[in-house]
Amino acid sequence: MKIGVVGAGALGLYYGAKLQRAGEDVKFLLRRDYEAVSRHGLQVYSSDGDFHLPILQGFRQAQEMGAVDLVLVGLKTFANHRLVELVQPLVGRHTAILTLQNGLGNEELLAAAFGPERILGGIAFLCCNRGEPGVVHHLGEGRISLGEFAGGRSERAVRLAALFQQAGVPCSAVADLRKARWEKLVWNVPFNGLCALTGKDVTELLQHSPSREEVAALMREVIAGGNAQGLSEPIGGEAFIEKMIQATEKMDHYRPSMMLDRLEGRPLELEAIYGVPLLKAAERGVTMPRVSLLRALLDLGESAKGGARADGLLAETGTPSTH
Amino acid sequence: MKIGVVGAGALGLYYGAKLQRAGEDVKFLLRRDYEAVSRHGLQVYSSDGDFHLPILQGFRQAQEMGAVDLVLVGLKTFANHRLVELVQPLVGRHTAILTLQNGLGNEELLAAAFGPERILGGIAFLCCNRGEPGVVHHLGEGRISLGEFAGGRSERAVRLAALFQQAGVPCSAVADLRKARWEKLVWNVPFNGLCALTGKDVTELLQHSPSREEVAALMREVIAGGNAQGLSEPIGGEAFIEKMIQATEKMDHYRPSMMLDRLEGRPLELEAIYGVPLLKAAERGVTMPRVSLLRALLDLGESAKGGARADGLLAETGTPSTH
C-alpha cells in the first residue's frame, strides 16, 4: 500500500517506519530529519527491539510526493492551519486519510476539505520521542484504536487495523470513533494540562491528594461532556475513572506530551484538547468549569510567550513526543 | 485606650502607628522590627503624609505586654496555629479582640478560645508593605469595615469605628460581618490565587480575555457559596462582579498579597481564603469547582516547597503585605 506520512515527528516516523519494515511503500514529508535520513536512513531504538531502515523515501515538499492510498497524519494540532495544504497533494481519487493527532476537531477539519467519506481517526497510545536527527526512541506502548469519522465499523477500518497489526502495531477498529476520542480526552484533559501547567509529572501529581481529587473531578467533567454527545454507549463513570488513575500510577514519572511541549518551548495543543471539547460540551448544555479554568491558565502562559511560533515548528513536532 | 497589636507586619504596624499617633496607648508584639524600632522608632512613608514615631512600646514576648482593652490581630493566617497562645496574655476581663486577618475562620478560632462575645472582625482594604526594619510603606487605601462576630451593628463596633476614624483611618461598622467577609472573598479568591499561581499581576490577568472570564466565573462561584450562608441580604450578582473587575482594572499592575507571599517564599493563606470557604459552601450543598481546582494547584506548589515554614515566619509576615 502506498502510504504518505504528513507530520513526521516521533509518532509519524515511528509508525511509518514500522509499516515500511513490514513491506509497505511509505513516503515521509520531512523537515528537521531530511538531511540525516537521506545520508544514514532512520534508526529506531525500541523496547520491542531496535531496527534500522537504510533507505527512506523522504521529501521536503508535499507536492513532490504524489497521490497515495493512505495519508497518515501525525502533525501536532497547533500546526493545523497548514494541515490541508500539506495533505492536498497526496490525495487521489481513492485516498483515505487517517489522522492520529490528539484531541477533537482534526477529522472535522479534514472532512471539510476532502469529504467525510475519506476520513478516519485513530487514537494512538504511544510513548515515543525523537533523539538527534535520524533517530527515534520508542519507549513503550504503541497501540492504536481507529475508526471511521462517519461512524460505524467499516471494512476499510478493519483492513487498516490489519495493516498495522501485520507491522507489529497492536491495532483495533472501533465502531464509535467519537467515543474513543472522548475516552482519550478523559486522560488527556487532566494530565496534559496539569502537568504542563505545574511542571509536575503524573506521579508527582497523583501523590498530592488534592491534585489527585482534581484529576478525578476533571475526568468527571469530561465524561459528562462526552456523554452529552450522543455516543453509542456512555463512557463509564467512577469505575472507569479509578481504573484510569490506577493505570496512570503505573506510568512511573511519565511526562505527558503537553508538558514536554511546554518545557521545550513548543506551542501547546490547546484547541484540540481543550477548546473544541469545551465548545462541543457547551453546545449540548454541559459546562466543564474546571476544564475551562485549566484552559485559560494554559493559554495565559502561551500568550506570555507571544504567538507566531507554530509555522516554525511545523515538522519539528516530535522532540520528544508522547501521546 | 490600651491596644495590643499581635502580628505586627505591615498591616499591624501601620494601623497601630496611626492609632498611637492619635493618642492611643499602643503596644506592639515585634520580632523582625524589634531592634530597629527600639533604636530609631518607626518611620511610616504614606501617600497620606509621612510620619515618624520616635518611641514605640515594642515587646518580644506576648507575656510581657499585659492585658489590654483591644487586641488588634494582623497575623498572617498561615501562622494561626500560634494565634491563641499569642493573644492569650493580652486578654483581661473586658478585652475585645478585633481580627483584621484575611479570609474565613479567624473569628471562629478566636471565639472558640476566648468566647464569641469578645470577637470582632474587620476587612482591611490596605496597600502597604514593609521596607527595611523599622520602616513601613503605605501605598494607598486603608479603609476598614468591621463588625461583631456574633452579628448585628453593636455600640462597641460603632465606637471602634470612631476610634479608627479619629486616627485618620476611614472605618465603618457593618451589621453583617459574614457578608462583608464573603464580599471580600469575591475579590480575594480569583485575584490572590490566579496571580500567585501564574506570577501575573491583576492588570496582566485582566488583559487576557480567557482569564478575565475565569475571574468572573470564580466570582460567581464565591457569590453562590456566600449566598448559601444565610446572609442578611444576598451579595449582588453580575453588576457587582462587573463593578469589582472595573475597580481592579484601575489598580495599575497591582500585586495581591498572596502573589507577594509566593514570590518571597512565604507560605500562602490557603486555608482562610480557599479551604474554609470551600468547606462552608459544601456544608450548604454548593460546589465551587474552579475554586477547588485553584486551591489544589496552589497547594501543589506549596507541597513542593516542603511544609514547616510557618513558625519561622510568625512575625515576618508583612514584607511587603497587601490586603
> In this predicted model, what pLDDT tens digit does every residue of B283-318 receive, in sequence order?
999 999 999 999 999 999 998 775 444 433 333 333
pLDDT on residue B130 = 86
Indicate the helix (H) or strand (E) that contains B181: helix B177-198
- Cell 531496527 sits on residue: A51
| DSSP for A239-261, written as a single string | HHHHHHHHHHHTSTT---HHHHH
**DSSP alpha helix (H) spans, A125-201:** 155-166, 177-198
> In this predicted model, what pLDDT tens digit does every residue of A129-171 receive, in sequence order?
888 999 999 988 899 999 999 999 999 999 999 999 999 999 9
Residue A279 touches chain B, beta carbons under 8 Å: no
Q: Which chain B residues have a beta carbon less than 8 Å from that of A295?
A: 210
CA dist B192 and B170 (Å) reads 24
Strands B119-130 and B321-322: antiparallel
What 3-state class would DSSP assign to A232? Answer: coil
Residue A294 touches chain B, beta carbons under 8 Å: yes
Residue A295 touches chain B, beta carbons under 8 Å: yes
CA dist A129 and A1 (Å) reads 26
Task: Say if residues A77 and A277 touch (Cβ distance below 8 Å).
Answer: no
User: Closest Cα to residue A28, out of A63, A78, A65?
Assistant: A65
Task: Say if residues B130 and B139 touch (Cβ distance below 8 Å).
Answer: no
Backbone angles phi, psi at A93, to 5 degrees: -60, -40
> In this predicted model, what pLDDT tens digit does every residue of B252-292 receive, in sequence order?
898 999 999 999 899 999 999 999 999 999 999 999 999 99
pLDDT on residue A186 = 98
Strands B42-46 and B51-53: antiparallel
Nearest-by-CA chain A residue for B291: A290
Comparing CB atoms, the residue among A194, A208, A290 nearest residue B290 is A290
Indicate the helix (H) or strand (E) that contains A11: helix A10-21
User: Closest Cα to residue A256, out of A198, A314, A178?
Assistant: A198
- Cell 496534559 sits on residue: A192
Residue B262 touches chain A, beta carbons under 8 Å: no
B292 contacts A208? CB cut-off 8 A? no
A292 contacts B293? CB cut-off 8 A? no
pLDDT on residue B306 = 56
> In this predicted model, what pLDDT tens digit does every residue of A87-126 receive, in sequence order?
999 999 999 999 999 999 999 999 999 999 999 999 999 9
> Within 10 Å of residue A248's Cβ, how many Cβ atoms?
19
**Burial letters for B45-73: b for 16+ Cβ neighbours within 10 Å, e otherwise?**
ebeeeeeebeebbbbeebeebeebebbbb
Task: Say if residues B157 and B146 touch (Cβ distance below 8 Å).
Answer: yes
* Strand partners of residue B173: B146
CA dist A126 and A71 (Å) reads 19
CA dist B257 and B272 (Å) reads 13
CA dist A173 and B75 (Å) reads 62
Task: Say if residues B317 and B9 touch (Cβ distance below 8 Å).
Answer: yes
B296 vs chain A: nearest CA distance in angstroms?
Answer: 5
pLDDT greater than 50 at residue B171: yes
pLDDT on residue B89 = 98
| Mean per-residue pLDDT, A12-27 | 98
CA dist B240 and B225 (Å) reads 15
B197 contacts A299? CB cut-off 8 A? no
Residue B303 touches chain A, beta carbons under 8 Å: yes
B218 contacts A300? CB cut-off 8 A? no
Quote the strand ranges of chain A, DSSP E.
2-6, 25-29, 42-46, 51-53, 57-59, 68-73, 91-99, 119-130, 135-148, 171-173, 321-322
Does residue A211 or residue A314 have the better pLDDT? A211
A296 contacts B213? CB cut-off 8 A? yes
pLDDT on residue A151 = 92
State the helix-helix crossing angle for B289-305 and B177-198, rounded to 10 degrees.
Answer: 60
Give me B91's grid cell: 486578654
Q: Which chain B residues have a beta carbon less than 8 Å from that of A282?
A: none
pLDDT greater than 70 at residue A310: no
> In this predicted model, what pLDDT tens digit does every residue of B23-33 receive, in sequence order?
999 999 999 99
Give the pLDDT band (50/70/90) at residue A318: very low
| Mean per-residue pLDDT, B41-56 | 96
What are the structural domains of chain A?
Answer: 2-175 (3.40.50.720), 179-311 (1.10.1040.10)
> In this predicted model, what pLDDT tens digit does every residue of A54-87 receive, in sequence order?
999 999 999 999 999 999 999 999 999 999 999 9
When the pLDDT of each residue in chain B is averaged and rounded to a whole number, the result is 93
Q: Which of A18, A27, A179, A184 is catalytic?
A: A184
CA dist A30 and A288 (Å) reads 38
> In this predicted model, what pLDDT tens digit does every residue of A188-237 receive, in sequence order?
999 999 999 999 999 999 999 999 999 999 999 999 999 999 999 999 89
Residue A208 touches chain B, beta carbons under 8 Å: yes
Non-local (6+) Cβ contacts of B191 within 8 A are B202, B205, B215, B248, B256
Residue B302 touches chain A, beta carbons under 8 Å: no
B159 vs chain A: nearest CA distance in angstroms?
Answer: 44
A300 contacts B211? CB cut-off 8 A? yes
Q: Which chain A residues have a beta carbon less than 8 Å from that of B218?
A: 293
* Size (chain A), residues: 323
Task: Say if residues A128 and A136 touch (Cβ distance below 8 Å).
Answer: yes
End-to-end CA distance of chain A: 26
A297 contacts B211? CB cut-off 8 A? yes
Non-local (6+) Cβ contacts of B154 within 8 A are B148, B173
CA dist B139 and B148 (Å) reads 28
Backbone angles phi, psi at A235, to 5 degrees: -70, 140
Residue B57 touches chain A, beta carbons under 8 Å: no
Nearest-by-CA chain A residue for B195: A297
What 3-state class would DSSP assign to B19? Answer: helix
CB pairs under 8 A between A and B: 74
pLDDT on residue A306 = 56
Q: Which chain A residues have a beta carbon less than 8 Å from that of B278?
A: none
Indicate the helix (H) or strand (E) that contains A113: helix A106-114
Q: Which chain B residues have a beta carbon less than 8 Å from that of A289?
A: 217, 221, 289-290
Residue A1 touches chain B, beta carbons under 8 Å: no
B63 vs chain A: nearest CA distance in angstroms?
Answer: 39
pLDDT on residue B161 = 98
A221 contacts B295? CB cut-off 8 A? no
When the pLDDT of each residue in chain A is averaged and rounded to a whole number, the result is 93
pTM (two decimals)? 0.89
CA dist B17 and B43 (Å) reads 9
pLDDT on residue A129 = 85
Task: Say if residues A62 and A88 touch (Cβ distance below 8 Å).
Answer: yes
Rounded to 5, what percent of chain A is helix, strand, coil?
50, 20, 30
CA dist B281 and B287 (Å) reads 7
Q: Is the ipTM of this complex over 0.90?
A: no
